[in-house]
Structure 1
């Protein structure tokens, strides 16, 4: 596929999603995507070919949406509150000729009335802010980092209320988060008609505590039946990516 030329600002760079052959605009001034986004896109069990409405919330510079575009033939709508990240995602879309596959919206996800109809979405992915504002005094000095990492604009209960409002009955949402917030997430999810169906823990290396959890929620799903999937370990004892991570990142099956 021929890449288009798009302007880059002095603080921006191009990083590559190798398996998907996508160049993505990143910047040192704002929060860059990390392994969390790649794991979330891999975990999300979205429809490949059957018609479905897919939405990525808290999309940042669009990494999850771009990764999902290689898992499904469906159009993807991505929503990001920060204008700078939204602008980067828009230019990445143009760079990779994906304008007909992904639509990026610059909006607070709690203010989507009239943009995305209620009870209309089949699949939602979300890499939300992880930290409660009051749980740390180390809030990032840069506003862009603070919004991406701390619940200053999006408390957990607002996030889950929004997800529930958008999903169809039996629609599914996929979240990546911190394991120490899991109890809060599952409790608040049930308060908003969302039932956990799959959970997968990610460990930095063998013998360490989990630092990432992937969660599948179903709207109006029957209580119970939660599946805890086999764990994912990121690094081996030689500090190299494990085979599982290499497969997710690069399609390396060796």
Structure 2
């Protein structure tokens, strides 16, 4: 199997000392995925983890450095599955990460109902209401817009996969917060932790990280804000350590 195809490149994940295959015309991960991987509760030695809407496998790759637990990753686009599998093979992570090429809707029928301790998900952010804003590139359009997977699909699927007390973590946009909270409660995922991410101090939040626990009691904690850049437009200390590791 060729390592790179077309316009693909091999990028570094510096903090984890891993490499990942990316493509500007197919898929490249964003900071959101890195923040979600860092934010999520992850068991160290025991449990079952599954990542939904995995793209090129960025979140499973990042999580592999935080746990010895086996990780499953689900992606519907065959081209992205192929990219992710080559990244997993390159890093020698085949024993730990298993890719599933499939639809998250109804996934529990394939992998099992209420079997997982942790679900992570970076779903498409944008609805399909305004067709003019949808990218002409099919791969990018599916990754960014709710064409094959809606927010409700993601939250419902996470709930069906989780054990009672299991945790699901999502990254999304603040404008969908009320939708997220409503849908999480609808599907028995009680919101427990919420963190707002800001480009820098004095700016509006542009990302949220939220975690819920299945059938848990109400008690949501709003964590301290996360600023991506400081006033000198350099990465903040926290984000720099997430991306590059602690010095």
TM-score (norm 1): 0.94
SS in 2 for 1:169: strand
Displacement of 1:115: 2.7
Measure, in 1, the Cα distance between the counterparts of 2:15 and 2:90: 17
Residues 111-151 of structure 1 deviation map (CA, whole Å, 9 limit, x = unaligned): 32443100101000000001111156311111111110111
Q: CA deviation at 1:74?
A: 0.2
Shift in CA distance, 229/113, structure 1 to aligned 2, threshold 3 Å:
closer
2:62 maps to which residue? Answer: 67
**For 1:180, what is the secondary structure of its paired residue?**
helix
**Is the 1:41–1:67 contact (alpha carbons within 8 Å) kept by the matching residues of 2?**
yes
- C-alpha contact (below 8 Å) 2:119/2:168 kept by paired residues: yes
Q: Which moved more, 1:107-116 or 1:161-170?
A: 107-116
**Residues of 1 paired with 2:131 and 2:168: CA distance?**
28
For residues 194 and 151 of structure 1, what CA distance do their matches in structure 2 show?
Answer: 21
Point out where structure 2 has 5 or more consecutive residues left out of the alignment. none
How far apart are the structure 1 equivalents of 2:213 and 2:131? 31
Among 167, 174, 179, which residue is 2:169 paired with? 174
Partner of 1:96: 91
The match for 1:28 is: 24
**CA separation in 2, counterparts of 1:35 and 1:136?**
26
- SS of equivalent to 1:137: helix
- The aligned residue for residue 205 of structure 2 is 210
- Count of aligned positions: 247
* 130-139 vs 188-197, which moves further: 130-139
The yes-or-no answer on 1:219 pairing with 2:219 is no
Which residue matches 1:164?
Answer: 159
Q: For 2:169, what is the secondary structure of its paired residue? A: strand
2: CA distance, partners of 1:136 / 1:170: 39
In the alignment, does 2:38 pair up with 1:42?
yes
Question: What CA distance in whole angstroms lies between the structure 1 residues aligned with 2:145 and 2:97?
Answer: 26
Q: 2:156 and 2:22 mapped to 1: Cα distance? A: 30
Contact 2:104 2:153 in 1 (8 A): no
Matches within 5 A, 1:7-156: 7-49=3-45, 51-134=46-129, 137-156=132-151
Aligned-residue CA RMSD (Å) = 1.3
Distance across 2 between alignment mates of 1:110 and 1:10: 31
Q: Aligned partners of 1:150 and 1:134: how far apart in 2?
A: 10
1:252, CA displacement in angstroms? Answer: 2.9
Partner SS state of residue 227, structure 2: strand
Q: Is the 8 A contact 1:6 1:95 kept in 2?
A: no
